[in-house]
Amino acid sequence: MQNNNLTHKTYLSIMIPFMLSTVTQPLLGAADIAVVGRLGDEKYIAGISIGTLIFNTIYWIFGFLRVSTTGFSAQSIKNNNIQKTSDTFFRPFFIAAFISIIFIIFQNTIFNFSMELIVPDIEIKKAASEYFFILIWGAPFVLINYVILGWLMGQGNIKGSLTMQISSNLLNIILDIIFVVFFKQKIAGVAYATLISQIISTFIGIYYLLPYGYVKNLCLKNIFNKNEIFSIMSVNKDLMLRTICLVIHNNLFTAASSSLGITILSANAVLFQILSIISYLFDGIANTSSVFAGRAAGEKNNILMKNTWTKTFFWGIILVIFITSIFLVSYPKLIRVFTDISTVVYTAERYAYWISLYPILAFVGLTFYGIFTGSSITSPILYSTVGALGGFLLSWKYVIPILNNDGIWISLLLFYFLRSILLVPFLKKTLN
């Protein structure tokens, strides 16, 4: 690729593999829901959805470990200092390891606090508990996975990032079927299938990292340099606070769904899985833009940066048209992939039309944030998300009590729409 010439072919050569890679992530939760959705009891769907919410909450807060590492990795490509590059990789690696140990130590506190917020009935709480206390042991693998995946993406290592994601998720689906369908393990089977998949994914990632030779340059003194740690946390502070806003939003969504009964909770859980898959498809575009924006920032190349803007918008619009069309035609079949419980299917179909509005309202915020993370300019991401949360909370207070579940979905869509329109005015900050 020439310094200034970002063609559609070049962009697609990164975007398509990244989309395939990122979309496998929500398929973990989707496979879990689909398997337990055929056990004939709504409590299993509700229990898995609450357990998944807890893990999404604690992992999303530290999702910057993947997002920012992609940006740092892309910027490091122009750096010929292997020691500095090694230090840049290992800092988030050790941060991830430390955070995961904290999660394991305080697992009881995390679960009990979550139950106080969501307040599910006793049967759902029991199902969520079984799922949570098995899967919490995957925390070190998940967070270290974030760092490895982010680094491989930033380096443009398509084969490594794609293999990590797809192989582990295929394994998860296979193990779900073996443990639940054949061994009749139900919730425990789903949890162990996911845990094993998380472990395997991490070891695959390590395999693809070894050729870079960073281990040979491992220097703990450099890695734990106070100024460097403060620097990386300063960049990540905005992303962490932004993620806390997302967590508040998602927890309130689930809490509101739970307050309307187990059928609404289960139906919304199914619809939210579909929404998550859509989100991660757009995340593939964001990751692609992060790579090119990181290179543009590293080279101080404004022409490349503006080319990244236009390619991000163009392929975002194409994906909006494609996803919306596919969803409108196939949503009844999609819902039945997750469950055959008639009450849940009927309720999910009743509210599915809200999902069709999601791509067009949300795609700018879901894709353009990659330009900011690639440039290591993260404050606009925080500001736009805080503003969006403010709009969501107003809708939460005044719309949901009147419109019930329709109000829940209106509030969700408002949040993502505001994230989009509030982010765009900051684009010029990415120019040098």
Per the structure block, which two tokens stand in for 167?
């192989």
Q: Note the pTM of the prediction, 2 decimals.
A: 0.76
pLDDT of residue 72: 73
Containing domain of residue 176, as a range?
8-430
Q: Is residue 276 part of a domain?
A: yes
Average pLDDT per consecutive 10 residues, the chain (432 residues; last block may be shorter) = 74 87 70 74 80 79 74 71 78 88 94 84 87 94 89 83 84 88 85 92 92 81 75 74 86 87 90 89 91 88 93 97 96 88 93 96 95 89 95 94 95 96 93 82
pLDDT of residue 340: 84
pLDDT of residue 32: 75
Overall domain count for the chain: 1
Half-sphere exposure of 160 (CA within 13 A, CB side): 22
Tell me, rounded to whole angstroms, the distance of Cα 104 from its chain centroid. Answer: 21
Residue 328 contacts residue 356 (beta carbons within 8 Å): yes
Q: Is residue 155 part of a domain?
A: yes
Distance separating alpha carbons of residues 298 and 193, to the nearest angstrom: 41
pLDDT of residue 2: 44
pLDDT of residue 1: 42
Q: Is residue 307 part of a domain?
A: yes
Q: Is residue 2 part of a domain?
A: no
Q: Is residue 142 part of a domain?
A: yes
Tell me, rounded to whole angstroms, the distance of Cα 18 from its chain centroid. Answer: 13
pLDDT of residue 320: 97
Q: Which SS3 state, helix, strand or coil, does residue 291 take?
A: helix
> DSSP string spanning 321-375?
HHHHHHHHHHHHHHHHHH---HHHHHHHHHHTHHHHHHHHHHHHHHHHHHHHHHT
Residue 167 contacts residue 201 (beta carbons within 8 Å): yes
